[in-house]
Amino acid sequence: MKKICTWILGIVLAFIVLLSGALIYWYFASINYHLTGMPVLNYHQVNNKFHTVLTMKPENFEEQIRYLSENGYHSITLEQFEQYMEGNTSNLPDRPILITFDDGYVDNYEYAYPILKKYNMVGTIFLITDFVGRPGYLNWDQVKEMSNAGMEFGSHTLSHRPLDSFNRADMRHELVGSKKAVEWHLNRPCDFIAFPEGKFTDTVLEETQNAGYKYGFTIDAGRDFPWDNPYDLDRIAMFEGPISFEHFRFRLTFSAFSAFLWKTHKFFEHMEFTKPLANCIPEP
């Protein structure tokens, strides 16, 4: 009996040592993209009007951008991101970070863009091109104005219906149509896409490549490395759940670890009899 107890204690201790080792590594290496990958933040709405899972208050957004600015982070362009993925880091600043927004809400122009400008940062907005000009969404004039000032744009398809819900021909239509719309309005290549709801299949990835995109972002949590599949890139979600400043800090610093927690939580939540277990695993 005593022997078993010693064994269990040993295993628990070893686990604690390993876990704290991993956390210490992540804490100190999280600012070094060579070691822990490129962080890509993913926002949606920034306003005071709505209170949905996609909404962040402008004051919270500013607090986060100010933190990045004061802590030596530099927002990078899509070109710099591409160079990083190609293994060329000669043009990369210290502590690079890619800031992205999905859906193309008009509040990105009203709130997020002025805040980014104030801190000398840029971001990339993924547009649902059929929604541009509709109430609540950006219009092409706003898109052009921001584009001229250094903000960048990618595709979030034509209709925002998940790409895995289409047959091949319609999938192609969504991918090519939205790419062309962005290129036609901005007169520059549109090589990046964010998949609606982060959903994709092997066919989606294949058609994305066929449509001429070079990179695809999901909403899976994590950071990106040059050896990752360029059409299956992770981001750090700044939506879903209460994004306090502590959440932001934790997710930014421990992206890989928080990704692990999220995935295990989701896994256990999936089955009825393991649901109580899921509740024990925090969603950071």
**Residues in contact with Zn ion by the rule CB under 5 A:** 102-103
> Smallest distance, Å, CB 166 to Zn ion?
16
Question: Which residue's CB is nearer to Zn ion, number 62 or number 103?
Answer: 103
> Smallest distance, Å, CB 258 to Zn ion?
21
> Smallest distance, Å, CB 119 to Zn ion?
25
Q: Where are the alpha helices (DSSP H) in the chain?
A: 2-29, 33-36, 58-70, 78-85, 107, 113-118, 140-148, 168-186, 202-210, 245-253, 255-269, 275-280
CA-based radius of gyration for the chain = 20
Nearest to 172 by CA among 143, 187, 154, 193: 193
- 152 is written with which tokens? 């960048």
Nearest to 77 by CA among 176, 188, 231: 188
Phi, psi dihedral angles at 244 (to 5 degrees): -80, 175
> Smallest distance, Å, CB 246 to Zn ion?
25
> Smallest distance, Å, CB 160 to Zn ion?
6
Question: Which residue's CB is nearer to Zn ion, number 102 or number 224?
Answer: 102
- 178 is written with which tokens? 């939205």
- 144 is written with which tokens? 């052009």
> Smallest distance, Å, CB 53 to Zn ion?
12
* Measured distance CA(109)–CA(149) in Å, rounded: 12
Question: Which residue's CB is nearer to Zn ion, number 198 or number 212?
Answer: 198
Question: Which residue's CB is nearer to Zn ion, number 136 or number 226?
Answer: 136
Question: Which residue's CB is nearer to Zn ion, number 102 or number 174?
Answer: 102
**Distant-in-sequence, close-in-space partners of 21: CB < 8 Å, separation ≥ 6:** none
Q: Which residue is nearest to Zn ion (CB)?
A: 102
* Measured distance CA(153)–CA(149) in Å, rounded: 12
Categorise residue 128: left if φ over 0, alpha if ψ from -120 to 50, beta otherwise.
beta
Question: Which residue's CB is nearer to Zn ion, number 196 or number 222?
Answer: 196
Residues forming a β-bridge with 224: 38
> Smallest distance, Å, CB 52 to Zn ion?
12
Max CA distance (Å), the chain: 75
> Smallest distance, Å, CB 107 to Zn ion?
14
